[in-house]
A and B are shown apart, each in its own frame.
Chain A
Amino acid sequence: MSGYSVKVVEGKYNLSGEFHTIEPNQPILDEKGKLCGITNPRRIVHHHSLGGEAPFFQAITRGRLLATRCDNKNCKDGFGSIFLPYRIHCPDCLERNTEIDVTDLANKTARVYSFMVCERSGAFNTLEKPIRFVNVEFDGVATILMSYLLGKQEPKIGMKVRPIFRTKKPTYTITDLAFVPAETAEKDLPADFTFSK
């Protein structure tokens, strides 16, 4: 479905076009023609705020990886912790975290903590199957980022990887960030993806 647009103007959503379509429903009959139910078709477009995480999603379209760090010296458990997934507030003290650029750290230290090759997907999947999920560790980062591996190599625990970014034709979703084996050459990157910029 297309033919709609969503913008934010002066802090308010500005919507135009069609956000849903109406289709006729159908009866569900058994083999003898007895009515068992009805279908309820609908197509709906939601518009969703990325809020305080928007800088992360914009950065990956520009070839940079952002994380956040708790800089509250009074935070016993969280002080100094680096969070990736980008976390707006520290989970311990709930103070606003400091945004930091971890692109170089990721380029140098990213490695596979766990992985899964998944032959199936749910409806609305946009990734090529099988999907190679990778959970990526970085030196000094408190968390383990979920992403996916591209390229022909199969993932392994401990494998060194590098982030790549869908800087051409971005979707502004988490699928704009992926990883490849660390030794991958730029010429071998999938279409629309680049190394960091």
Chain B
Amino acid sequence: MITFSKRQLKIPKFARDVYLVTGGNSEFRRAFPEKRTEELCIEALQEAAKYVGMTATELKKYIHTCYYGHFADHFGDQLLGEAVIHDRLGLDPLGNIGVKTGGATGGSTIWEAAKAVASGYSDCTLAMGWERMDEVPTDEGNNYISCAADKDWETPLGHIYTGYYAVMAQKYWNVYGREEESFRRTLAEISVKNHGYAYHNPFAQAGMKITVEDVLKSPVVAYPLRALDACLMSVGASCVILADKETAYQMCKQPLLLYCAAGSHTLRVADRRDMEIPLLPNETEETYKDLDKEFPGGERYPGFTGFLAARMAAYYAYNWTGIKDPCEDLDLVELHDAFTISDVQTYEDIGIRPYGRGRTYVESGDCYHTNPKTGKPGKLPANLSGGLIGCMHAVGATGIMQVVDLMYQIHGRHAEIHGDPERWKRYGKQKPKDWEDLQVKGAKRGLAISHAGVGSHVTCTIVMQPDARLDK
């Protein structure tokens, strides 16, 4: 049983408030043979400038330091790729640094950029992330990703990261899912939902109208997971601009408060040791009194059924921001749906549901924009962007794309951006005739989870209207 000290469990705080001023995305695709990475990054920065009525030149004049998220140099075949992008963005002579935390790279980049503002070092920072996953065949891409596991103890086992993750899915499937067909269908429903939301998102790579049966008939990747349960491999870029209060209000009319906390756990799942469940504000010891009786095999925490890093990121973020219950205090979330089953695991890690009960978030209809069971607004809509399954997973950009999409929602400008016919046309797509406005009415607070692989790093970013803050 391992324990954590009080100092380690200290609730974080910024020395001064940090505001989200603007953000932007490139389009996301499986491959961009006609574009260099810098073109995508410039596209994202231009989007961010336009969103607040500036030119890129005007926006750049505010930036003081730059944070670049790029998971794998291997993919772009360029060491110090961050320096190439910084150069092409014309941001000399500003200090800049690369951030790499696997799948959580986007979130971690925001974490770094936010701390620079909070400390007073910078009044305005750029967090830009991207990934170039189209320049090697898929099996070589899988090998590169597997190199983010332990090279001596894991990578030689198949050179396939999916396998290292899938053993966790299998344990969850067995213990909390009880290997029930009904649970398998619930997982498929998540894929249907996220591909369906991506259908209305012009940035998205894999918008599709599919059925539960389509998911259940897609090829097995690693039982019980199938191809349509898995996230995409993508190319694209996203960025956000952060600032202190005074600067933020000079740059735009409606900056949003931003908080970002991070957690970690062992790189190898093999090294996970037993511990007590760290409790979130909406849980007590009573919550888990009978967990192992109800779900035999679930006595080990986190075992392979939970992600300690996600739980700790939520622990820090909720206690910091004053969130007591995510379902009551948040209006929407963007979660790291690398697989449908990891999406369910995250519902539990971040307290949307207690451990063992994640599936009910989907089955109740709470996770939808419009609850299909009641026809009323979903209680806490999830992944209206389409998430990693429907929109994209250009690793270094993913955690940033999530925050950009939350920003559109909280500003009430989601339809303006996603529904713009010119944008659909520019991306070579036809805006669907049955396009739906997925704006969450009155959205004030949102959360994004950025998650690395088997849970080595997780960040929890919360953005909100300044008048909706709960911590003062």
Q: What are the 4 closest A-B residue pairs judged by CB atoms, nearest first? A: A122-B159, A122-B142, A122-B143, A114-B171
Q: Can you give 30 contacting A-B residue pairs, CB < 8 Å?
A: A81-B273, A84-B270, A113-B303, A114-B170, A114-B174, A114-B304, A115-B167, A116-B163, A118-B160, A119-B221, A120-B142, A121-B159, A122-B141, A122-B142, A122-B160, A123-B140, A124-B143, A127-B157, A131-B157, A131-B163, A133-B166, A135-B269, A135-B304, A143-B270, A144-B304, A146-B153, A146-B167, A174-B152, A174-B153, A175-B157
The complex places the Cα of A146 from the Cα of B146 at a distance, in Å, of: 14
The complex places the Cα of A90 from the Cα of B141 at a distance, in Å, of: 34
Q: Which residues of B contact A143 (CB under 8 A)?
A: 270-273
Minimum distance in angstroms from A110 CB to a CB of chain B:
14
A170 contacts partner chain B, Cβ-Cβ < 8 Å: no
CB-contact partner of B158 in A48, A131, A173, under 8 A = A131
The complex places the Cα of A126 from the Cα of B164 at a distance, in Å, of: 16
The complex places the Cα of A162 from the Cα of B336 at a distance, in Å, of: 37
B274 contacts partner chain A, Cβ-Cβ < 8 Å: yes
Could you list which residues of chain A lie within 8 angstroms of chain B, going by C-beta atoms?
Answer: 28, 30, 36-37, 40, 48, 50, 53, 57, 76-77, 81, 83-85, 87, 91-92, 113-127, 131, 133, 135, 142-148, 157, 173-175
Do A175 and B167 contact each other (CB < 8 Å), given the known contacts A28-B33, A146-B270?
A: no
Interface centre among B150, B169, B270, B272 (most CB of A within 10 A): B270
The complex places the Cα of A117 from the Cα of B47 at a distance, in Å, of: 43
B104 contacts partner chain A, Cβ-Cβ < 8 Å: no
Minimum distance in angstroms from A29 CB to a CB of chain B:
10
Q: How many residues of B contact A (CB 8 A)?
A: 50
Minimum distance in angstroms from B2 CB to a CB of chain A:
5
CB nearest neighbor in B for A120: B160
A116 pairs with B222, CB closer than 8 A:
yes
B77 contacts partner chain A, Cβ-Cβ < 8 Å: yes
CB nearest neighbor in A for B220: A119
The complex places the Cα of A30 from the Cα of B34 at a distance, in Å, of: 10
Q: Which residues of A contact B1 (CB under 8 A)?
A: 77
A85 pairs with B170, CB closer than 8 A:
no
B139 contacts partner chain A, Cβ-Cβ < 8 Å: yes
A113 pairs with B171, CB closer than 8 A:
yes
The complex places the Cα of A37 from the Cα of B164 at a distance, in Å, of: 34
Q: Which residues of B contact A175 (CB under 8 A)?
A: 156-157
A117 pairs with B222, CB closer than 8 A:
yes
B160 pairs with A144, CB closer than 8 A:
no
Residues facing A in B113-165 (CB within 8 A) are: 137, 139-146, 150-154, 156-164
Q: Which residues of A contact B171 (CB under 8 A)?
A: 113-114, 135, 157
CB nearest neighbor in B for A51: B152
CB nearest neighbor in B for A136: B270
Minimum distance in angstroms from B183 CB to a CB of chain A:
16
Q: Which residues of A contact B304 (CB under 8 A)?
A: 113-114, 135, 144
Q: Given A146-B269, A148-B157, 8 other A-B contacts at CB below 8 A?
A: A77-B2, A113-B303, A114-B171, A121-B160, A122-B140, A122-B160, A123-B159, A124-B159
CB-contact partner of B270 in A121, A125, A126, A145, under 8 A = A145
The complex places the Cα of A194 from the Cα of B222 at a distance, in Å, of: 29
The complex places the Cα of A53 from the Cα of B151 at a distance, in Å, of: 13
CB-contact partner of B77 in A40, A85, A133, under 8 A = A40
